[in-house]
Structure 1
Amino acid sequence: MIPHYNSENMVYLTLIQVSILTLFLPLALYFLLVSIGQISSFTEASIKERRFPVFIQAVLLFSLISINKFQFTPDLLSFFVGGFISAVLAFVSILFKYKSSLHMIGISSLATFIYLMSLKYELPFINIVAFSFVCVGLVASSRLYMKSHTVNELLIGSIIGFISQYGLFYYFYNM
């Protein structure tokens, strides 16, 4: 396997694009939605309150994928495409009036991605993989403790996160 050469400028440009479209813009939109009364609570959002933010998340991830293309980091492209698919599946569940855990979608997606990259590159990431799966358990237990979700909502969120990453990994690397 030939290693990819990443210029320092491309790495910084990608970092800036990812930061703007996945952190700063969503935070700004969240505060805007709170100020105009579309969202009442960050942790206790109803199904109706979730519709617009999840749709915006899907649009922002699609924009990130379309703008950047991640030509020098195909693994990062796979991760964000999986995130986009997760956002679309979460939006579909909202349309069917089902509240899946967005926290579980995110953390199980990340844990699955870390595990699959350790398999792909045959690297002994056992500590990182174990830590990521402990984080999955911590997020799940905290959502149950706060009574934000039921066990079924957590399970559906975990399945959405796992399926989106594993499906792409299987599609891209086992063709």
Structure 2
Amino acid sequence: MKKALPFFSYLFHPIFIPLIGTLLYLLFGENYLTAPQNYLLVLQVIIITFFLPMSFFYLLRTFGKVDSIMLSDTQQRKMPLLLQMALTVILIRETVTIDRLPELYFFFLAGLLSTFLAFVLLFAKIKASIHMIGLCALTFFIVGLSIHNQLNIIYTIAMLFLLIGLVASSRLYMKAHSMSELIIGMAIGIVPQIASWYFWL
């Protein structure tokens, strides 16, 4: 089992969380988009939150600014986090707007705040776990959706909590984070999502 733990760090890398959150929103949320609009939304999310960051990552790697997609060094995290914030702003201004997709809008807005907090902590040499930020944010967004739409999706939520445990164990096994860094990441991911509930629940 221990040898399989690193797999979870790659499978649930933070770069996949925006897409997973969008797909789960389309599955469990209430929206009035047509099927072609749903496909266009997913495509835009993929381009803005996956392809553009990956292109930027390979550019940074070419110039020797990063050495791994896991961004183990605090200094290596600053530029990718800045890019993520900029792209998230573009996403919520142009695609996931508050009038069209309010629940998803606040998911990304809270995620933007989480990213900003993780960025600020880097200047204090605190490397909060971005894996925990992403997964915990996703989990509590889905919890909010279940409350908002009165859905019984307890198995999905339980699976997400199980994944949090597996990914946390993976990060510890890989010696990528200390326990305190995981806890800080969890707090940074959870608190903004719960705070955003005030605006859309």
Structure 1 length as normaliser, TM-score? Answer: 0.92
Q: Distance in 2 between matches of 1:8 and 1:156?
A: 39
Residue 160 (structure 1) aligned with residue 188 (structure 2):
yes
Residue 107 (structure 1) aligned with residue 135 (structure 2):
yes
Q: Distance in 1 between matches of 2:36 and 2:128?
A: 38
Residue 53 of structure 1 is matched in structure 2 by 80
Query: Counterparts in 2 of 1:120-139, with a 5 A limit?
Result: 120-139=148-167
Residue 44 to residue 15, structure 1, CA distance change in 2 (3 Å): closer
Asked if the contact 2:107/2:193 (under 8 Å) is kept, the reply is yes
Residue 79 of structure 1 is matched in structure 2 by 107
Structure having greater relative contact order (Cα 8 Å, sep ≥ 6): 2
Asked if the contact 2:102/2:200 (under 8 Å) is kept, the reply is no
Q: Distance in 2 between matches of 1:89 and 1:58?
A: 11
Residue 22 to residue 4, structure 1, CA distance change in 2 (3 Å): closer
Q: Distance in 2 between matches of 1:50 and 1:4?
A: 35
Asked if the contact 2:71/2:77 (under 8 Å) is kept, the reply is no
Residue 7 of structure 1 is matched in structure 2 by 34
Structure 2 length as normaliser, TM-score? Answer: 0.80
Residue 62 (structure 1) aligned with residue 89 (structure 2):
yes
Q: Distance in 2 between matches of 1:119 and 1:170?
A: 12
Deviates more, 1:62-71 or 1:16-25: 62-71
Residue 6 of structure 2 is matched in structure 1 by none
Of the candidates 157, 160, 174, which is equivalent to residue 146 of structure 1?
174
Q: Distance in 2 between matches of 1:9 and 1:171?
A: 28
Residue 117 of structure 2 is matched in structure 1 by 89
Q: Distance in 1 between matches of 2:39 and 2:53?
A: 20
Q: Distance in 2 between matches of 1:116 and 1:67?
A: 24
Of the candidates 19, 30, 43, which is equivalent to residue 70 of structure 2?
43
> Which 4+ residue blocks in structure 1 deviate beyond 4 angstroms?
none
For 2:38, the aligned partner's letter is V
**Cα offset for 1:8?**
2.9
Deviations, residues 33-89 of structure 1 (Å, cap 9, x unaligned): 111100012235211111111111111111101112153321111111111111111
Q: Distance in 1 between matches of 2:107 and 2:38?
A: 16
- Structure 1's unaligned 5+ residue stretches are none
For 2:73, the aligned partner's letter is S
For 2:141, the aligned partner's letter is F
Asked if the contact 1:44/1:148 (under 8 Å) is kept, the reply is no
For 1:35, the aligned partner's letter is T
Deviations, residues 146-166 of structure 1 (Å, cap 9, x unaligned): 000000000000000001111
